[in-house]
Structure 1
Amino acid sequence: MTPSATRQRLYSLDALRGFDMFWIMGAEEIVHNLAKASGSPFWEAAANQLTHPEWNGFHLYDLIFPLFLFLAGVATPYSVGRELEQGKPTQQLLLRVIRRGLVLVLLGIIYNNGLEFRPLADIRFPSVLGRIGLAYMFANIIYLYTKQTGQIIWFCALLIGYWLLLTFTAAPGFAMGDLTMEGNFASYIDRMIIPGKLHLGIHDPEGLMSTIPAIGTALLGIYAGNLLKNSPLSQQRKTLQLAIMGIAFLVLAQLWNLIFPINKNLWTSSFVLQVGGLSLLLLSIFYYVIDVLGYRSWAFFFAVIGMNSILIYLSEAFIDFHFTTEALFKWLIQLFSEPYKLVIASLMFVLVKWGFLYFLYLKKTFLRV
């Protein structure tokens, strides 16, 4: 951990990143417990959206991971891009990008397996942080060595290439274009080359092959970041362009879904467009409300989370927040009758985590990778 640098930040970026992380630091449990306690069709529908489909299909919970990767791309022109403008050598920035990507891969392995020796067969190497690290790294390498036109070409080539790859191949013994968990070519290659174990035995949702289109998710974020930072358009026009692109991507995603299903497990090209469209729409809303209209105070709660997003994600592996929640708020939880005890417990759980992050915010201490 290092003291925070005094540099200008895109406040809406921190807030949206925090909003994204809010749902996996305990907020989804609040909704699930509300659904169980109330039996309300509204909360049951909301709780269903905070689950992952078994294979094909899309729920809003599927957006959390790719939105984070998209926002890592949005930050690139404000970090790597700014240093390029200041004259830092491309080679130096390249080494930093590679180092950051590999550190995230290492942190992901630690998050999955803990700090202990295990047999190779019991180690899971693919991870959420690993995918973020690899996709971020390759997208930033493309950013360092190509102009925006080249980045757009890379984006299209990755999505179309992945679609063609899975359409004209399959695991041995399966028909060409098979997209089942066992029969698709991406999972087959992962089974052949990834050591240790896969999350689902025959498939890992963070496997190597499906990282290829995930690079496109990061590149889309870089495009959005370039638009916000470098475009001569007015802030209102930037907002409108992000929103129009978001709607267009959602339409294209539904069309592509007809022949290449939206599938988070395989990170299909249609999935990239689906989550890309939603990410662009969310960014346009947060940017317009916070950075254009200037309504920032409401977003402070989320910004505190967003400024230490990697730390709060990793902390689950090392800090027992459930123990702290019970120690501090058991008396409050006891004041409520069943079945609302779990709702209050989950609310306090999120509050404890946020309090931890707020303490670090006051100390101006943030985890930088």
Structure 2
Amino acid sequence: MDVWLGELGEFSLRVERGNLSSNATCGPITTTRAPVNSSLPVLIAAGVLLLLSILFPLSGWVLRLRCVQSMIGRVLHRPDNHTLLNNEAMVPPQPQILPPNATTATSTQAQRLRSLDTFRGISIVLMVFVNYGGGKYWYFKHSAWNGLTVADLVFPWFVFALGSAVGLSTAGPLRRGRPSRLRLSLRALWRSLLLFLIGIFIVTPNYCHGPLVWSELRVPGVLQRLAVANAAVSLLEIYAWGPHHSPLARVMRWPWLRDLLPFWPQWLLVGLLQVAWLSLTLLLPVPGCMTGYLGPGGIGSGGSQANCTGGAAGYIDRWLLTDRHLYQTPTTRNLYRTTVPYDPEGILGTLNVVLSAFLGLQAARTVLSFPGDHRGIVRRFLLWAALLGVISAVLTKCTRDEGFLPVNKNLWSTSFVTVTACFAFLLLAALHLATDALQVWTGTPFHYAGMNPLLLYVGHELLASFFPFRWGAPPAPPAGPLPHAWPLAQNLVACAIWVVVAWRLHHHRLYLKL
């Protein structure tokens, strides 16, 4: 019998013992105090956000009215007020995506894709919301081991957006032949090094607990993985064959595959990385553990693999980095009672992070290979989503734990890459249709955050414990409030503040770039 026990409810169950110790009867479960609707706060928040998203474009239309601009100008006594309001309300011009052989003057300018900025902005805003607590909802928390929640989508989407940005930013220099490939590669490596160092010495340490101590400093991390992915896909794009110089592109009989076939050397290299991940994960002998173990350790698997959290991935990290340089409180600790440290951003999983970024790079190639063909771009995004969805279904057998390779963020498994990239292509297709093709939405306010993601990530990590991003909750009344209302409001306010910061920085053309 399935019984739903809601939050903050009180229930009672009467158990009567018979004459024999093995005989017992259970009465029906009765409700002493009715539970609350825990989903009501998030539904209200979603409704408010939807209403604001509808009212914001209408406010832009109202501000463009001459009578409104004239009235505001008279109130503020600002002669330049008409121009300011017009600039803020108008939809920014859309970038012109040029074919690989374009030689016009505009091809030398850095082009921005509004759908990509919006996609990246959604990812970073969700990341801030999740890292601040996600309103304490379970689906805004990372899975303990196998499975997928909304929180698990954030990081791979950000990696996907990074790969797309690399493709769009390097296409022009590679087409023009300047700067040289050596200079481009050095620039990419320098940016990756800075990301890695920021992750180690600025974001990861908790300075509130004392001075930085190298003996206990965590080496892996989010920015560190982004650094490796950026270096890998940048070098692949710079040095591997591309449509601008590949002989295959000039004799191709299938022009509808021009965003795929010319890049077969890159796919081959990424495929070799995938073979390396599979071989190490499934075949590497781990002392005291079952070969190919993919479980959480602890009390999982009946406790037979207690110290084998993550199998080969955990073993490689502990062997190369030692326990003190790894994440000490993994998601498995509470549910599976694990005792060994395990880093979800470890070394082995980073091989598959390159695959996530490479799929984002493929999305950029599609945009560049079919300039102006918005319908074709959206159609190909949907085809990629369908293909990756089928691969995910085969790898997981449409189950959480019984597949060949379960969806697992801690391992960054192949199925995790394919299923998160599937959702990324679906979302990017919808955004491209709305912002770049039909232009019915400017991506506001998310595209502001998408143009300054590094500042928002570093800032929200460093200031997470300070007001106004976090404050103490008032004491709960005896009856108890809605269980998620207060933390949800707190986390949404913190996210809104960072979006406003990004908007103001964009207004002043201030961006944190490496």
Q: TM-score, with normalisation over the residues of structure 1?
A: 0.86
2:135 pairs with one of 28, 32, 45: 32
Per the alignment, residue 254 of structure 1 pairs with 393
Is 2:373 aligned against 1:229?
A: no
More helix by share: 1
Letter of the structure 1 residue corresponding to residue 193 of structure 2:
L
Partner of 1:112: 204
Deviation sequence 1:94-147 (CA, Å, 0-9, x none): 101111111111111120015774333321111100001101111211121112
CA apart distance, 1:84: 1.3
Cα contact 1:16–1:306 (8 A) shared by 2:
yes
Structure 2 counterpart of 1:199: 327
Q: CA deviation at 1:270?
A: 1.4
- Residue 308 of structure 1 and its aligned partner are, at CA, apart by 0.8
- The correspondence of residues 5-154 of structure 1 with structure 2, limited to 5 A, is 7-26=110-129, 32=135, 47-88=137-178, 89-109=180-200, 110-113=202-205, 117-147=211-241, 148-154=263-269
Residue 507 of structure 2 is aligned with which of 359, 362, 367? 362
Indicate conservation of the 8 Å contact 1:260/1:270, yes or no.
yes
For the pair shown, which has the larger CA radius of gyration, 1 or 2? Answer: 2
1:177 aligns with 2:321: no
Cα deviation digits, residues 4-34 of structure 1 (max 9, x gap): x97431011111111111112237868626x
**Is the 2:166–2:230 Cα contact (8 Å) retained in structure 1?**
no
Q: Describe the shift of the 1:10–1:187 C-alpha distance in structure 2 as closer, same or farther (beyond 3 A).
A: same
2:160 partner amino acid: F
Partner Cα distance (1:253, 1:166) in 2: 18
Taking CA–CA contacts closer than 8 Å with sequence separation of 6 or more, which of the two structures ends up with the larger relative contact order? 1
Question: Percent identity between the aligned chains?
Answer: 26
Tell me the amino acid that sits aligned with residue 190 of structure 1: D
2:417 corresponds in structure 1 to: 272
Q: 1:141 to 1:28 in 2, by over 3 A?
A: closer
- Could you list the runs of 5+ residues in structure 2 that have no partner in the other structure? 1-107, 242-262, 297-306, 329-339, 397-402, 474-479
Matches within 5 A, 1:197-346: 197-200=325-328, 201-231=340-370, 234-257=373-396, 258-297=403-442, 299-319=443-463, 322-324=466-468, 338-339=481-482, 340-346=485-491
User: What is the distance in 1 between the residues matched to 2:240 and 2:225?
Assistant: 22
Q: Kindly tell me: are residues 325 and 160 of structure 1, through their superposed partners in 2, closer, same or farther at Cα, counting changes over 3 Å?
A: closer
Question: Aligned AA for 1:255?
Answer: V
Name the SS of the counterpart of 2:468 in structure 1. Answer: helix
What's the RMSD between the two structures over aligned residues? 2.5
Partner SS state of residue 137, structure 1 = helix
User: 1:124–1:199: 8 Å Cα contact kept in structure 2?
Assistant: yes
Instruction: Give the number of equivalent residue pairs.
Output: 343
Q: Which amino acid is 1:140 matched to?
A: S
Q: TM-score, normalised by structure 2?
A: 0.62
Range with greater deviation from structure 2 (86-95 or 194-203): 194-203
Structure 1 CA distance for aligned equivalents of residues 325 and 465 of structure 2: 28
Measure the CA separation in 2 of the matches of 1:85 and 1:6: 12
Residues of 1 paired with 2:184 and 2:501: CA distance?
32
- Residues 278 and 73 of structure 1: is their aligned pair in 2 closer, same or farther, counting only changes over 3 Å? same
Q: How many angstroms does 1:292 deviate by?
A: 0.8
Range with bigger deviation, 129-138 or 5-14: 5-14
Given candidates 148, 156, 161, the residue that maps to 2:276 is 161
Residue in 2 that maps onto 1:189: 316
Amino acid aligned to 2:184: L
1:8 alignment partner, SS class: coil
Gaps of 5+ in 1: 34-46, 331-336
Q: Which amino acid aligns with 1:173?
A: G
CA spacing shift, 1:321–1:252, aligned 2, 3 Å: same
Relative distance call for 1:223 and 1:311 in structure 2 (3 A) is same
Distance across 1 between alignment mates of 2:176 and 2:211? 44
Aligned residues of 1:322 and 1:349 also touching (Cα < 8 A): no
Name the aligned partner's letter for residue 490 of structure 2: A
- Residue 174 to residue 119, structure 1, CA distance change in 2 (3 Å): same
For residue 299 of structure 2, what is the aligned residue in structure 1? Answer: none
**Structure 2 vs 1, CA of residues 24 and 146 (structure 1 numbering), >3 Å: closer, same or farther?**
same
Alpha carbons of structure 1 residues 30 and 114: separation in structure 2 relative to 1, 3 Å:
closer
Q: Deviations over 1:248-299 (max 9, x none)?
A: 10221121122122111111111111111111111111111111111233x1
Question: Does residue 349 of the first structure (1) align with residue 443 of the second (2)?
Answer: no
Quote the offset at 1:338 in angstroms.
Answer: 4.6
